[in-house]
Chain A
Amino acid sequence: MTDRDTPPEFRELLERAARLPKSIAPPRDLWPGIETRIAGKRPGKGERERGWLPWVLVPLAAAAILAVVLLGRRGTDERRGAWEVTRLAGLPVVGSSPLAASGAIRVGEWLETDDSSRAVILVGDIGHVEVKPDTRIRLVRAQRSDHRLALERGEIYAKVDAPPRLFFVDTPAGTAVDLGCAYTLAVDSSGNGTIHVTGGYVEFDWGGRRSIVPLGFRADTRQGFGPGTPYAEDASQALRQAVAAFDFANGGPAAVRRALAAARSEDAVAVWHLLERVDPSLRRAVYDRLASLVPPPAGVTSEGALRLDRTTLDTYWNTIRRIAWRRIILRGVRDIDPRTGVSR
């Protein structure tokens, strides 16, 4: 967007941004720390100094610069299929070698932590993954368009700041696809797990079954079933049990009805996912409940929703996910109506 085509609705926001106080006093006096660090030093000459570098020192300086560049590059090198990894605690193992401080994990190599070790992997230049204790994870691909890990068991916290669908984590129950987010992903010894999203959105796919898990939501995953229905962090036990029974225990219509009865407006994300998953005979009941929780936006009709028209479902989803996002992100700042997403 250029300055010329800034829509009018942005103007107030931009004016407010421009009026933000330019100066904020730090909570403590930072000068003593600065004074200690510059004590005994003369101000540097910066660029001017380099002009006086004796010619005899030029080859040495060039060698030093080359060494710094090479040392600086030793960690993450996507062209060679390796990412930088740093020990946080204990003694993680990369391949067959203990990780003393920092090193690299190469494509195909496993990183393993025991019950007292942790490590952080830098995901190219787009984010990082903290590997928690008792975890086994492998670097599958290290390409600009496909940053991919495989989590066999254990727990990771991933934070990625990149366009969607560049970072993937394969698990026995499916693949977590980053849509610009932060999340914790856990897998137990039987390949089942949970994903908890703390920023943005994650898509979880397995065999054509897909869940979109927004900020403030969780989804259980099961080997052989894929992702379950996402539920809010503060969802009731009754809703969690009902969707788990429906997703993984052949709970059928009874489980769906229990889920609908337990759902609040805050649970619209879960109910929206059920629309596509339930038996067609139940779809009307799911749609009616969803419409009572979050009124359908313009362009969404019951007919379109019942025949699973993609545009209709996506339009409804955009309203639901935006309300959920505002409710979570403005928690403690504004009281957001979970039916409409506006301040109460």
Chain B
Amino acid sequence: MTDLVRQAQQGDHAAFQSLYREHVGRVYALCLRLTADAREAEELTQDAFVRAWERLGSFRGESAFASWLYRLTVNVVFMSRRTTRRRAQRVFATEDPGALERPGAGRESNPGLALDLERAVAALPPGAREVFVLYDVEGYGHAEIAELTGIAVGTSKAQLFRARRLLREMLES
């Protein structure tokens, strides 16, 4: 366990801020790709760090702090999906299909193929997108995804197959 984590566990806000600076990019990227909504990703990134602070005492250093934080982030994203408030808000977010093609609105885009892939991933149906991001981008296994998201392992595999097929159709020239 690093000194920063130990200090943060003792209630040191400055240490926790350093951890935030170190990991915010990765946490935000995860939230952005899982939601395809820049505004929601910001909100969830904040939720994830607040939750991390609230649960910091349960981190024993058995895994890397980063792994613990990213799993917690995935959990926050999926818990948020289950609330009425966010689902109702999503009515407005998804009514503009063009929004799905602009997942990175408000941030600098990556040039070339990376941009195409980011846009294509954002345009996937939510279930397929989430499994694709967790499996192919973040490197989680199906069993872990099932545990994190509450879906069956078979569903995770089916969604991955669907996501890859759709992406291939979108990107092949």
Contact = CB atoms under 8 A, between A and B. Distances in A.
Interface of A: 1-2, 9-10, 13-14, 16-28, 30-31, 33-35, 37-38, 41-49, 75, 84, 86, 88, 102, 120, 122, 128, 130, 157, 159, 161, 180, 182, 198-200, 215, 322, 325-326, 329-334, 342-343
Given A46-B59, A157-B95, A333-B101, A27 B168 contact: no
B34 interface: no
Contact of B42 (A28, A48, A159): A28
Given A25-B28, A161-B126, A343 B58 contact: no
19 contacts: A23-B29, A26-B42, A27-B38, A28-B42, A30-B24, A30-B45, A34-B20, A43-B9, A43-B10, A43-B16, A44-B55, A88-B91, A130-B91, A130-B95, A159-B94, A199-B94, A326-B170, A333-B101, A334-B173
A25 B58 contact: no
Given A161-B126, A329-B101, A329-B170, 5 more contacts: A24-B32, A34-B46, A34-B49, A159-B90, A326-B169
B119 interface: yes
B53 A14 contact: no
A333 B26 contact: no
Interface residues of B, number: 71
Interface string B102-116: 001011001001111
B20 A43 contact: no
A38 B53 contact: yes
A324 to B, nearest CB: 12
Contact of A25 (B25, B137, B173): B25
Nearest to B100: A199
B128 to A, nearest CB: 8
A75 B125 contact: no
A161 B87 contact: no
A24 B8 contact: no
B45 A43 contact: no
A82 to B, nearest CB: 14
A1 B29 CA distance: 26
Given A17-B132, A23-B25, A333 B116 contact: yes
A9 to B, nearest CB: 7
A24 B25 contact: yes
Interface string B81-95: 000100110110011
Contact of A42 (B11, B24, B114, B117): B11
Given A325-B169, A334-B116, A20 B84 contact: no
Given A16-B117, A130-B91, A200 B125 contact: yes
Interface of B is mostly: helix
Given A30-B46, A43-B57, A182-B94, A13 B167 contact: yes
A130 to B, nearest CB: 5
Given A26-B107, A30-B42, A120 B87 contact: yes
A47 B17 CA distance: 23
B13 A38 contact: yes
B33 to A, nearest CB: 8
Given A48-B58, A333-B119, A122 B87 contact: yes
Contacts of A45: 57-58
B147 interface: no
Contact of B57 (A13, A18, A24, A46): A46
B3 interface: no
A2 B161 CA distance: 9
B119 to A, nearest CB: 6
A99 to B, nearest CB: 13
A297 B94 CA distance: 34
Interface string B124-153: 011100001000110100000000000000
Nearest to A126: B127
A248 to B, nearest CB: 28
Contacts of A27: 38, 42, 106-107
A36 to B, nearest CB: 10
A87 to B, nearest CB: 9
Contact of A1 (B8, B26, B160): B160
Contacts of A19: 114
B50 interface: yes
